[in-house]
Chain A
Amino acid sequence: MWPRLFQLTALALAGNLWLAACGQAETATPVAEVPGVTVPGNFPAPVYAAEANPPTLPAFELGRALFYDPQLSRTKDVSCGSCHQQFAAFAHADHRVSHGVDNRLGTRNAPPLQNLRWRRDLLWDGGAKHLETMPLAPLTNPVEMDETLENVLRTLNADAKYVQQFAQVYGKKPIDSQQFLKALAQFTAALTSSNSRYDHYARGEAGGTLSAAEVRGLTLLRQKCSACHGTDLFTDESYRNNGLAGGFALDSGRAHITRQARDRGRFKVPSLRNVARTAPYMHDGRFETLTQVLAHYDHGVTESATLDPLLRQPDGRLGIPLTSAEQADLLAFLATLTDEQFLHDPRLSEKPR
């Protein structure tokens, strides 16, 4: 009897090898414990599909350790997590702009990191075009982590625990840049926020009740905001000039990448998920509260050559007129996009190595 069982087992093993080697990841069930593996019912298909970097618990944990590791910076005291705090949906709470190594300041507000699997490109100007290579931007930016990829790999390869963990996941030494970047992407791709009260409402799940004011806010949002903050990701992923005052001499936004005058002052439309927790707002963090943001759209929009056409009313007025009652309803709805489960998911928090 057992020889037959043994044969079947051997065949099954060979079959598994075949599947894994050919990258048919849809047949390999990802480990259930990795967060963000399941595509939420109210989300579109992800851009960075799981098959590109099949989630496994050891690789995810490796990415998590890297995300919170200050050794990755030149001064060994700034990690990704320094400027991307979980309780702020991985934005930087109370910081207009973040301080990098030697307390250097940049020009941009650290954006939240959530639902990155669905992003076509990243950063306020869309300069990073793939989730895996995106971390190279903050790692090497002189005002952020100011480190070289070469040094990062040297640091990791000098750390016996990392060497052992990477070898366990990738089956070879030394740690190379592809392993490092893929491991980090295991964590960043897992940052899925899809369990706000609004989500339960949208999916018809238990706990998905909205108050009358919140429903009015949702209706208003769909009427007046969803041309940009569309879908249940609450962004259309476009770049727009939303009429911030002061010109774009400090930061030309999308034009920095495309070098086109028509893109001057255009920035990525951010998602509204967890927006009540990601203050301050805008690419430069100029607004401290959502009340200020709504006031901006109501009466603060400034004229410029690349101002988004959606912010020009037929009567020539700029912005999106909103009564104070409408603003109150919008604020009520926006609070329903707070996803406490995501903000406090212990699997995403820093843990001692």
Chain B
Amino acid sequence: MFLRSFPLLCLLAFASFFTACTDDTDTNLNPAPSQPGTLDVEIDHVAGTEPLAFNTTYTTAAGDKFTVSRFKYYLSNFTLGKTDGSSYLVPESYFLVDEADPESKFFTLADIPSGDYTSLSFTIGVDSTRNVSGAQTGALDPINNMFWTWDSGYIFTKLEGTSPQAPNQALVFHIGGFKKPNNTIRSVSPTLRGVTIPIRKDRNPAVHLKADVLRLFTGPNTIRFATTPNVMGGADAVKIADNQRAGFFTVDHVHTN
């Protein structure tokens, strides 16, 4: 009897191992999806009407000329909303997007409960909790050089380059900080232009986002390189973060296939 039931007992023991952990990580806000689907996110980097390329000269709305040699940023906490007001936060959705790494501009949000979603929101940056949660892996690994060591926390957006208007030609914009009054975490919900995203097991929808580097320097706050060529957190970072919230990201189009 014991011998015969032994495999069953083992199975039960391991089954409890899995269910217990599922209970720990899921919350009522995110009920286990029955037939989950995916959403692809693809991001194009542009400077106004032109595609972004390193070491190419662009002009800001205010007339400053500049080139870009490094451009990377964090996106996190992707949330899909429905017309009834309910929403689904994709767990562990942390992505480091890097102009130098084309693969980083395409990623998939997986295990989304099936349904018709009419909004997409996400955070430019990293939520405050993860800024103070100790050693992280993956996108949040400090090896990615997006972590301040002397004032610990993530650099949310990094743009470096040159400008003839800058006093020493160099541009360094490190946008980060998660504490008042210099909190630069910004959540955005770029309009889907009336398109509904159908999340189904057998479908493959995709959102194409456009990130415009010119919009870092224009919007609620005009950034001039003669006076503001070097930002590492602080009040000027807040100004750029406010510009990011206002128009850095747009949805170019949505594939509902």
A interface list, Cβ under 8 A from B: 3-4, 6-7, 10-11, 14-15, 17-18, 21-23, 52-53, 127-134, 136-137, 139-141, 149-150, 153, 176-178, 180-182, 185, 256-259
Pick the contact of B142: A4, A177, A256, A259 (CB < 8 A): A177
A-B contact count (CB 8 A): 98
B32 located at the interface, meaning its Cβ lies under 8 Å from any Cβ of chain A in the complex: no
Contact B17 A21 (CB under 8 A): yes
Which of the 9-residue segments B3-11, B52-60, B194-202 touches chain A?
B3-11
Which of B3, B13, B141 has most chain A Cβ within 10 Å? B13
Further 6 A-B residue pairs, CB within 8 A, beyond A21-B21, A129-B153, A178-B136: A7-B2, A18-B16, A22-B24, A52-B134, A178-B137, A258-B179
A48 and chain B: residue at smallest CB distance = B134
B171 to chain A, nearest CB (A): 21
CB pair A18–B20 under 8 Å, yes or no, is: yes
Chain B 213-239 per-residue mask, 1 if CB under 8 angstroms from chain A, else 0:
000000000000000000001110000
Closest to A12 in B: B13
| Interfacial chain A residues near B2, Cβ < 8 Å | 3-4, 7
Q: Using known A-B contacts A129-B152, A130-B134, A181-B134, determine if residue A22 contacts B21 with beta carbons closer than 8 Å.
A: yes
Asked if A3 and B147 make an inter-chain contact with CB atoms under 8 angstroms apart, the answer reads no
Q: Which of A136, A153, A180, A259 has a CB less than 8 Å from the CB of B149?
A: A136
Contact yes or no, A15 B152, CB < 8 A: no
Identify which of B13, B132, B179 contacts A14 (C-beta below 8 A).
Answer: B13
**Chain B residues in the interface with A (C-beta under 8 A):** 2-3, 6, 9-10, 13-14, 16-17, 20-21, 24, 131-137, 141-143, 147, 149-153, 179, 182, 233-235
Pick from A17, A23, A137, A180: contact of B152, CB under 8 Å: A137
Which chain A positions have C-beta within 8 A of B21?
A: 21-22
CB distance from B127 to the nearest CB of A (A): 14
How many angstroms between the C-alpha atoms of A39 and B256 in the bound complex?
A: 56
Q: Cα distance A179–B55 when bound, in Å? A: 37
Looking at the complex, which one of B14, B134, B147, B182 makes contact with A131 (CB distance below 8 Å)?
B134
Which of A10, A22, A53 contacts B10, CB < 8 Å? Answer: A10
Q: Which of B137, B150, B234 meets A259, CB within 8 Å? A: B234
Cα-based distance from A256 to B136 in the complex (angstroms): 25
Cβ–Cβ contact A149 & B143, under 8 A: yes
B155 to chain A minimum Cβ distance, whole angstroms, is: 13
24 A-B pairs whose Cβ atoms sit less than 8 Å apart in the complex:
A3-B2, A4-B2, A7-B2, A7-B6, A10-B6, A11-B9, A22-B24, A127-B152, A129-B132, A130-B133, A130-B152, A133-B135, A133-B142, A136-B142, A140-B149, A149-B143, A176-B137, A177-B135, A177-B143, A178-B135, A178-B136, A178-B137, A180-B135, A182-B134
Provide the residues of chain A in CB contact with B234, threshold 8 Å.
259
Residue in B closest to A17 when the chains form the complex, CB atoms: B17
Q: Which residues of A contact B132 (CB under 8 A)?
A: 129-130
**CB neighbours of A22 from chain B (8 A):** 20-21, 24
Q: Which 4 A-B pairs have the closest CB atoms?
A: A14-B13, A132-B134, A181-B135, A136-B149
Closest to B235 in A: A259
Q: Do B147 and A178 touch (CB < 8 A)?
A: no
Chain A nearest CB from B152 CB (Å) reads: 5
Give chain A nearest CB distance to B59 CB in angstroms: 31
- Smallest Cβ-Cβ distance to A258: which chain B residue: B179
Which A residues are in CB contact (< 8 Å) with B150?
Answer: 127, 137, 141
Q: How far is the CB of B17 from chain A (nearest CB, A)?
A: 4
The answer on a CB contact under 8 Å between B141 and A3 is no
- Chain B residues with CB below 8 A from A130, complex form: 132-134, 152
Given A7-B6, A22-B24 in contact, is the A139-B149 Cβ separation under 8 Å? yes
B135 and A182: CB pair below 8 A? Answer: yes
- Complex CA–CA separation, A180 to B182 (angstroms): 31
Contacts of A10 in B (CB 8 A): 6, 9-10, 13
A129 in contact with B149 (CB, 8 Å): no
**A18 CA to B16 CA in the complex, in Å?**
8
Q: With A130-B134, A259-B235 in contact, is A136–B147 under 8 Å at CB?
A: yes
Q: Which residues of A contact B235 (CB under 8 A)?
A: 259
Rounded to whole angstroms, the CA-CA distance of A132 and B142 in the bound complex is 11
Whether B141 lies near A178 (C-beta < 8 A) is yes
A150 contacts which chain B residues (CB < 8 A)? 143
Give the CA-CA distance A10 to B3 in the complex, in Å.
12
Query: How far is A149 from B137 in the complex, measured between Cα atoms in Å?
Result: 13
| Contacting residues, chain B, for A3 (C-beta < 8 A) | 2-3, 6
Nearest-neighbour CB distance to chain A for B60, whole angstroms, equals: 25
Contact B135 A14 (CB under 8 A): no
B149 touches A11 (CB 8 A): no
Contact residues in B for A256 (Cβ distance below 8 Å): 151
